[in-house]
Amino acid sequence: MTVTTTTPTTRRPSPPGRRRPRVSGRNVLGAMLSMPALALFALFAIYPGLRVFYLSLFDYSLTSPPEFVGLDNFTFLAGDPRFHEALLHSLVYTVGTYLPALALALVLAVALSRRMRGAGWVRLLYFLPVATSWVAISVVWRLVLHPDGLLNQTFGLDVDWLTSSAAATWALVIMGIWKETGFFLILYLAGLSRLPGEVYEAAQMDGAGAWQSFWRITFPLLKPITAICSVMGVIRGLQAFSPQVVLTDGAFGTEVVNLFVYKTAFENARMGRASAVAVFMFLVLIAVTMLQLRAFRREDG
């Protein structure tokens, strides 16, 4: 009784009054701890992120001052066949690589999530390409894709993988699937391990009924993961650069959007036009992310 009646009168006014000045010194210091990171962000992420919109309205070549040209860069791109082709190449590469990689990762995750002797080792084999770097692995795949290389000889093929327009895109797609499946396998396995126990067991069911339990239980439950994976697939697809540079240098129908930006900015010194493409890429990324997240949410509900 005494406690409840005395505390309000003695304590209630004091905490706000007494605490604030004493703690705020700490909070000022605490706020300052975020400064190194925020300064780096402001200078190297936010400023260029805003400036890319500004530069997209200018004719600019690094060495000469920017000259305002309004929407000229965008109207030029709208009529530029090379840009249209780059968009198409990126689309084909992204869908061709990431759709199979995601599907394969999902199937592998379900097959490898069961507690079976050896499953850990098999996972490891699929994870290994994720730990390699794109340039190093492109050097390796240059040999794999050689007319007398591993791929042709193993499957008895006679394809000029890297020196024909018919095959180069698919060569990069095959390599991309090999490199990226493990990444999405990691994500799906993480997603599976989060599912509640009974569902997890149902997901691992063998034999008869496995197909139905996959489509009725596992796949719907993994939809949030699939949404994340497909957004990341689109982003990673649009970021593609190293294999296109190392294996074909953009020839034979492999000049993807990112390589087009690079060449426009640094080989043709058209920084403004390159910025306009970057703005376009940014809008595509946002649109695709929104669409995918919404589509998966709606199906969920």
Partner 1 sequence: MTVRSRLVGWALFLVVAAGGIAFAAVLAYAVVSALKPPGEVLSVPLRWWPSQVDWHNFALPFLETPFARYYTNSVFVGVVVTLLNVLTCTLAGYSFSKFSYPGRNVAFVIVLATLMVPLEVIYVPLYSLVYDLGWVNSFAGLIVPAGTSAFGIFLMRQSIDAVPDELLEAARLDGAGVLVSLGRIVVPLVRGPMAALALFIFMMNWDSHLWPLLVASDDEHRTLPVGLAAMQANNLGAAGVPMMMAAAVLAMAPTVLLFLSLQRRFVEGVAMSAGIR
Contacts to partner 1 from residues 109-138, by CB under 8 A: 111-112, 114, 116, 118-119, 122-138
Report the nearest approach of partner 1 to the CB of residue 213 (Å): 12
Q: Quick one: which of 59, 80, 91, 242 contacts partner 1 (CB under 8 A)?
A: 242
- Considering the rule CB under 8 A, would residue 223 count as an interface residue with partner 1? no
CB neighbour class for 199 (10 Å; exposed up to 12, middle 13-18, buried from 19): middle
Q: Are 63 and 265 in contact (CB under 8 A)?
A: no
- Considering the rule CB under 8 A, would residue 293 count as an interface residue with partner 1? no
Which residues touch 138 (CB under 8 Å, ≥6 apart)?
Answer: 175, 242, 243, 245, 246, 247
At 233, the amino acid letter reads G
Query: Rounded to an integer, what is the distance from CA 187 to the centroid of its chain?
Result: 12
Binding segment toward partner 1, per CB under 8 A, in 3-11, 24-32, 67-75, 88-96: 24-32
- Considering the rule CB under 8 A, would residue 140 count as an interface residue with partner 1? yes
Q: Quick one: which of 19, 40, 71, 84 contacts partner 1 (CB under 8 A)?
A: 40
Site size toward partner 1 (CB under 8 A) is 103
- Considering the rule CB under 8 A, would residue 69 count as an interface residue with partner 1? no
Nearest to partner 1 of 74, 127 (CB atom): 127
Nearest-angstrom CA–CA distance, 200 and 143: 41
Nearest-angstrom CA–CA distance, 59 and 119: 56
Q: Quick one: which of 7, 11, 68, 150 contacts partner 1 (CB under 8 A)?
A: 150
Give the torsion sign (CA, 21, 23, 29, 35). Answer: negative
- Considering the rule CB under 8 A, would residue 207 count as an interface residue with partner 1? yes
Q: Quick one: which of 106, 195, 265, 288 contacts partner 1 (CB under 8 A)?
A: 265
Task: Establish how many alpha carbons lie within 13 A of residue 146's alpha carbon, considering only the half-sphere containing its beta carbon.
Answer: 8
Report the nearest approach of partner 1 to the CB of residue 13 (Å): 21
- Considering the rule CB under 8 A, would residue 262 count as an interface residue with partner 1? yes
- Considering the rule CB under 8 A, would residue 289 count as an interface residue with partner 1? yes
- Considering the rule CB under 8 A, would residue 291 count as an interface residue with partner 1? no
Nearest-angstrom CA–CA distance, 117 and 126: 16
Q: Are 102 and 226 in contact (CB under 8 A)?
A: yes
